[in-house]
Amino acid sequence: MKINNSDGYLLIMSLAVALFLTILLGAAFVRSTQQLREADQRRAVHQAFSTAEAGIDRALFEFRRDPDWGLGADPDVPNMAVSNVLLNAVEADDTTVIGTYSIEVVNGPDIQDLGETRWVRSVGFDAESNLNRAILARVLIDDPSRFLLSTPGALRFKSGAVVEADVLGQDLFFDVNDALPDAAQRHITIDGNVLYIDELNPSNPQSDPDITITGAVNPYPSVTFPGVDINRYDTLATGLAATLGGYKEAGDLTVDLDNLGALDGNPGFAPRLIFATGDIRVSGEFDASMLLVAGGNIYIEGDIAPDPLTPDAQIGLFAKQDVVIPDGAVAAGADLTVEAFVIADGSDGANGEFRAESTVGLGEFNFTGAISVRGGGGTQTGIDLSVFAVRNYTHKANIAVPFSPFIANIITWQETTSFADFPPP
C-alpha cells in the first residue's frame, strides 16, 4: 500500500520558505539598522563639522572688532575664548540645536610687513554631543589704518601725487601724464612700501624715472575689507547716548565740529560716536577723538582738522556708501585740509569711494591720516581726488579712533583633533 507524502513535503517546503524569508527579512532589518546608524553618524559628523566652522567664523567676526579678542578670556582655562556655545538652525530657538562649539585662541608669530597672527582652534560637537570635529586656523590680523591708502580694489596714482607711507591695493596703477611739461608735475612719489594683491601697472614702476618708490614692492595675501557695520554702530550710539557719549540721528545730519553742542543743546557735548542713518555733512575743528558714521554718504564741506590746542585728537569718517568732497565745497584754485581716518564701504549702488567732485580746477589737497575704501572693482580707482592740482598724503601713525574695525583673514586652515598640541609646534 502506498502512503501519500505530499502534505509532508508541502509542510517542509513551507517551513523552508518561512525560514528563508525570516533570514532575508532579518538581514534586511540588520542592513536597514546599519544604514540608519551610518546615516546618523554622517549627520552627526556634518553637525560637528558645521559647528566647528561656525566657531571659526565667530572668531573672524570678533577679531574684526577687537584684535585681542579671546586672549586670556578665561584665566582658569588657558587659551579658551568661549566654550559650549550653542549653534541653532533658527537663531535663539534652542529646539533647533545643530551642535555646540568651543574656541581656543593664542598668539601666533608675526609675519614681517603683513601683521600679527593668531592660532585658532574650534572644536564642534554634534547635537547629541556624541562626537566632535576640530579645525585649526592661522589668522592674519591687520589694521587698515596701518596703511595710508588701502583697498581690496584698484588704486590709481596720477601725476602730482605724493604719498608718504605704505599703500595696499588689489591692482595698482601708476598713471604718468607725459603731456605735462614740468617734471615735478608729472612725478608720482610713494615714500613707503607698495603692497599689491594681484598686479602692478606698469609691472616694474621703479624703472620709470617719473615714479619714485622709496620702500619695498611686495605681494600681499587677499584681504577681506573691514567694512562699516551699521548695526554695530547704531547699537553703540544708542547705548552711549544715555551718558552723552554718543548721538544718533534718524536721517541726514549736519555736524559743525566747532559747535558740537548744537546737536543736543549741551555746550559741553563731546560724543565719542555720532551716528546717522542717512548722510552726514561735516567740517570744522575737533578737540577730542571721535567717530562719525553715516548709513549713507559723508560729505566733507570744508577743512577738517584737530584744534591746535589738542593736536593728538583724532576723528574717523566712516560711510556705508561713499565719502565725497562735493562740488562747491572748495572754491576754484583753493586748498583743502583733511585730517581723519576715512572708510568708504559701498552699498546701495555705491562703490565705496573717496572722491572729489568739482567743475573747476582746485589747488592743493593736504590729507593726513589713513584712507580705506572698498572700491568699485575692475580698473576703476577707489580714491579719486585728481580735481586738485596737487595731492599730498601724509600718514598719521598710531591712529586710535574709537570703535575702529580691523582686518582678519585666514591664511592657513586644516582639520585637526581636539587633543592635538595647541598651539601647534
Digit-coded pLDDT (tens) for 180-206: 888 888 899 999 999 999 999 999 999
- Domain count along the chain: 2
Co-location of 253 and 382 in the same domain? yes
Co-location of 127 and 84 in the same domain? yes
CA distance 135 to 418: 9
pLDDT of residue 375: 85
CA distance 194 to 166: 6
Co-location of 218 and 156 in the same domain? yes
Residue 322 pLDDT grade (very low, low, confident, very high; cuts 50, 70, 90): very high
Lowest mean pLDDT among 78-82, 119-123, 245-249: 78-82
pLDDT of residue 33: 62
Percent above pLDDT 90 for the chain: 64
pLDDT of residue 342: 98
User: Whose grid coordinates read 546599519?
Assistant: 34
Q: Which residue has the higher pLDDT, 97 or 342?
A: 342
CA distance 327 to 268: 33
Residue type, 95: T
Residue 262 pLDDT grade (very low, low, confident, very high; cuts 50, 70, 90): confident
> What is the mean pLDDT of the segment spanning 397-422?
92
What range does the domain containing 223 cover?
145-405
Co-location of 27 and 133 in the same domain? yes
Co-location of 56 and 68 in the same domain? yes
Instruction: Name, in order, each residue with C-beta under 8 angstroms of 61's C-beta and a sequence gap of 6 or more.
Output: none
Co-location of 193 and 119 in the same domain? no
The 8-class DSSP code of residue 257 comes to G
Co-location of 243 and 327 in the same domain? yes
Co-location of 287 and 379 in the same domain? yes
pLDDT of residue 221: 82
Q: Is the pLDDT assigned to residue 2 strictly greater than 60?
A: no
Q: Which residue has the higher pLDDT, 33 or 128?
A: 128
Q: Which residue has the higher pLDDT, 397 or 113?
A: 397
Q: Is the pLDDT assigned to residue 1 strictly greater than 50?
A: no
**202 upstream amide cis, omega within 30 of 0:** yes
Co-location of 382 and 411 in the same domain? no
CA distance 298 to 281: 6
Lowest mean pLDDT among 257-261, 304-308, 362-366: 257-261
Q: What is the DSSP string of 284-315?
A: EEESS-EEEEESS-EEEEEEEEE-TT-TT--E
Q: How many CA atoms lie within 13 A of 118 on its CB side?
A: 30
pLDDT of residue 417: 95
Q: Is the pLDDT assigned to residue 30 strictly greater than 70?
A: no
pLDDT of residue 35: 61
Q: Which residue has the higher pLDDT, 11 or 281?
A: 281
CA distance 236 to 58: 20
Co-location of 198 and 328 in the same domain? yes
Co-location of 42 and 186 in the same domain? no
> What is the mean pLDDT of the segment spanning 262-289?
90
Residue 112 pLDDT grade (very low, low, confident, very high; cuts 50, 70, 90): confident
CA distance 101 to 118: 18
CA distance 139 to 408: 6
Lowest mean pLDDT among 147-156, 247-256, 313-322: 147-156
Q: Is the pLDDT assigned to residue 36 strictly greater than 70?
A: no
Co-location of 207 and 346 in the same domain? yes
Residue 139 pLDDT grade (very low, low, confident, very high; cuts 50, 70, 90): very high
